[in-house]
């Protein structure tokens, strides 16, 4: 790592720690993710050089994958039988929310390609690349996608806090020490294996599948202590918030407003489908909404694990959405190009 990168990382982590401490002291939900994210976003908007190197971010995403996979239990198969209905409602919700958000972005001056690929709720990297290939503006797509993830992270925890009647969502009880910490040593092998298998989001999914197999057969499950979870949230919050280097405050404010309205519209549509899942499948409302929320699979998995909102159910639906988008988006793009 170059000296300038090291200073930028130290600055990001330091300002993130301050943001996390402030959010923690005032009792904000998910303080050690939302605080660092907010602090780094503000620093980025002011022109500060803050960044988290991709290898470090990927390492902590891998840890998240191990924690998430360790939620799998032998009893999971009984629950999976109820999931086809919720999966179908998810796909309908994705189509409806994407159409509504794309209509808003068109009103904001986006071309049709950029509007649709900015609105697709997931598979961000694939959406940016496909959008550029089809003639969209990759920078605007990337900013809209990134801001939507930030906004979902900032909006949902307070909503869950209000839903719980003012009591901050409680994370799962965590042991004082590590359990099966040896699983962390497998990460350097799992990343290249996931890349070789061409898994989408392999830094998350390869560790998730590995831990899921071990936990599903009751061999081993990774458990992090409370401080370990907070460190993971701190680093990943800094990584998300530092994405916006190079944007002026005025431009970031305009993009933030556009993304805020698009995110609210998408959440409103998806909340209706989440209510159907709650009523028809019996899943709690907050779990159903998080499973449908228009954020990235990694970020929504973080929320699910940190808030103990049925992480396996949430991750399954976000993985399904990501795969469906990657399969369907090329055909939709082809149709859009023919109708220009």
DSSP string, 214-238: HHHTTS---B--HHHHHHHHHHHHH
Between the alpha carbon of residue 12 and those of residues 39, 126, 142, 231, the distances in Å are: 9, 27, 21, 14
305 assigned to some structural domain = yes
What pLDDT shows up at residue 172? 47
Under DSSP, is residue 179 helix (H, G, I), strand (E, B) or coil?
strand
For the residues 115-127, what does the mean pLDDT come to? 87
Q: How many domains does the chain have?
A: 1
For the cut 90, the answer to whether the pLDDT of residue 22 exceeds it is: yes
274 assigned to some structural domain = yes
Give 8-24 as a 3 state SS string: HHHHHHHHHHHHHHHHH
Question: Of 261-265, 273-277, 314-318, which range is least confident?
Answer: 314-318
8 assigned to some structural domain = no
295 assigned to some structural domain = yes
Global pTM reads 0.81
Give the DSSP letter of residue 173.
P
Please tell me the distance from the alpha carbon of residue 236 to that of residue 90, in angstroms, as a whole number: 26
Please tell me the distance from the alpha carbon of residue 16 to that of residue 6, in angstroms, as a whole number: 15
Q: Which residues pair with 179 in a beta bridge?
A: 223
258 assigned to some structural domain = yes
42 assigned to some structural domain = no
300 assigned to some structural domain = yes
Range of the domain at 88: 82-178+248-338
Among candidates 289, 284, 290, which has minimal Cα distance to 303? 290
For the residues 206-222, what does the mean pLDDT come to? 88
What pLDDT shows up at residue 187? 94
**Planar angle of CA 131, 137, 142, nearest 5 degrees:** 75
Q: Six-digit token pair at 176?
A: 């004082």
Per the prediction, the chain carries an average pLDDT of 86
Residue partners of 259: CB distance under 8 A and separation at least 6: 143, 144, 147, 148, 151
For the cut 70, the answer to whether the pLDDT of residue 176 exceeds it is: no
Residue predicted with more confidence, 1 or 275: 275
Work out the pLDDT band at 64, boundaries 50, 70, 90: confident
For the cut 90, the answer to whether the pLDDT of residue 44 exceeds it is: no
Between the alpha carbon of residue 259 and those of residues 222, 294, 332, the distances in Å are: 36, 12, 22
What pLDDT shows up at residue 129? 79
208 assigned to some structural domain = no
């Amino acid at each position: 790592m170059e000296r300038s990168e090291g200073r930028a990382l130290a600055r990001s982590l330091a300002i993130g720690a301050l943001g996390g401490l402030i959010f923690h002291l005032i009792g904000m939900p998910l303080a050690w993710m939302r605080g660092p994210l907010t602090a780094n976003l503000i620093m980025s908007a002011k022109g500060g050089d803050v960044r988290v190197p991709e290898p470090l971010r990927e390492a902590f995403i891998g840890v998240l994958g191990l924690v998430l996979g360790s939620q799998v239990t032998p009893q999971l198969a009984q629950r999976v039988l109820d999931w086809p209905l919720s999966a179908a409602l998810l796909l309908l919700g994705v189509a409806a929310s994407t159409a509504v958000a794309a209509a808003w972005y068109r009103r904001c001056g986006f071309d049709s390609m950029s509007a649709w690929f900015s609105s697709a709720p997931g598979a961000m990297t694939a959406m940016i690349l496909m959008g550029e290939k089809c003639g969209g503006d990759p920078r605007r797509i990337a900013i809209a996608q990134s801001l939507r993830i930030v906004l979902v992270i900032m909006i949902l925890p307070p909503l869950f806090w209000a839903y719980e009647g003012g009591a901050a969502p409680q994370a799962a009880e965590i042991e004082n020490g590590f359990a099966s910490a040896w699983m962390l040593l497998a990460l350097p092998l799992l990343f290249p294996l996931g890349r070789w298998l061409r898994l989408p989001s392999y830094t998350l999914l390869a560790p998730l599948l590995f831990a899921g197999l071990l936990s599903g057969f009751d061999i081993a499950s990774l458990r992090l202590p409370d401080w370990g979870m907070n460190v993971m949230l701190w680093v990943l919050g800094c990584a998300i918030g530092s994405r916006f280097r190079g944007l002026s405050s005025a431009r970031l404010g305009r993009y933030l407003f556009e993304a805020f309205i698009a995110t609210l519209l998408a959440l409103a549509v998806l909340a209706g489908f989440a209510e159907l899942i709650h009523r028809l499948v019996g899943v709690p409302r907050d779990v159903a909404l998080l499973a449908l929320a228009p954020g990235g699979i990694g970020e929504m998995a973080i929320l699910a694990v940190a808030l103990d909102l049925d992480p396996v159910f949430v991750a399954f639906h976000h993985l399904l959405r990501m795969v469906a988008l990657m399969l369907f988006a090329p055909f939709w793009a082809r149709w859009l190009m023919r109708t220009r």
